[in-house]
Amino acid sequence: MTPQSIDEIGFLGEIFSSFQGEGPLIGRRQIFVRTAGCNLNCSYCDSPKFRRDVKFCGVEDPSVPGRLRQAKNPINLNWTMDQVLALWTIGTHSVSITGGEPLCQPQFVEALAMSCSEENLPVYLETNGFSRSRFSRLIDWIDFAAVDIKLPSHRACPTHEWSCLVENELACIEGACRAGIATIAKAVILDSTSMEEIEQLCRRLEGLEVAFVLQPASGRGRPVPERLMRLHEVASEHLREVVAIPQAHKMMGVL
């Protein structure tokens, strides 16, 4: 058997069908392909077990919704596409490539996005945007880009690395907007998130065709409603489309 090329093998955490629980496409049915491995360490991470490579990938059985069987990593691209197509239904909106962090596996994710495009399956990329160069390789194959912007209060990386991180994130957002991709910029809001953080960020996003999502953290660290309202007002002084949306999939009790 001919060995797989490096761009056809990846480490995945999960493949399943569910509803998008974040941002403007909330409630849309998607096939989620969750990559394993992440380069950041956000204080609010809701999928910490996928910060590193995992031995097995949980794959939903199309005949038994919600039941995951185990597949050994690394995962073959063709096999991954077989699972995606088996889970696709008439009401499915798109394929969400999420993580972990997809840009940590740029070759595999590019090959996956290309394969989905060839099957006429819209691609929704969820990323922290840490690398503008890796992101730019995907632009021709994605239809939606959701970039999770890291604020200083998130403690996602060492302080001396934050400036470089946010410049890459902003470059990804600008590149996606310039390419005509439906672009979402998301910032998780903690009780420690300051007005200054949001205002400085929104000044940098000003003039871009982007939906800006204030996502209140769940559980511990959740901001009080009054703070969220004030942050919305601050953001709206600079951006046309500002929405506050919590993680709805947690409320629905789905993956």
Annotated binding site: 19-21, 34, 38, 42, 44-47, 98, 100
Task: Give the closest residue to 152 by CA, choosing from 184, 186, 196.
Answer: 196
Residue pair 198/231 in contact by the 8 Å Cβ criterion: yes
Please, what sign has the CA dihedral across residues 245, 139, 45, 95?
positive
b/e 39-75 (16+ beta carbons within 10 angstroms → b): bbebebeeeeebbebbebbbbbeeeeeeebeebebbb
Residues placed in the known binding site for [4Fe-4S] cluster: 38, 42, 45
| Core vs surface per residue 222-255: b (16+ CB within 10 A) or e | bbeeebbeebbebbeebbeebbbbbbebeeeeeb
Contact 156, 196 (CB under 8 A): no
Tokens describing residue 147? 């970039």
CA-to-CA separations, 131 to 22, 119, 180, in angstroms, rounded: 22, 27, 19
In this structure, which amino acid lies at residue 189? I
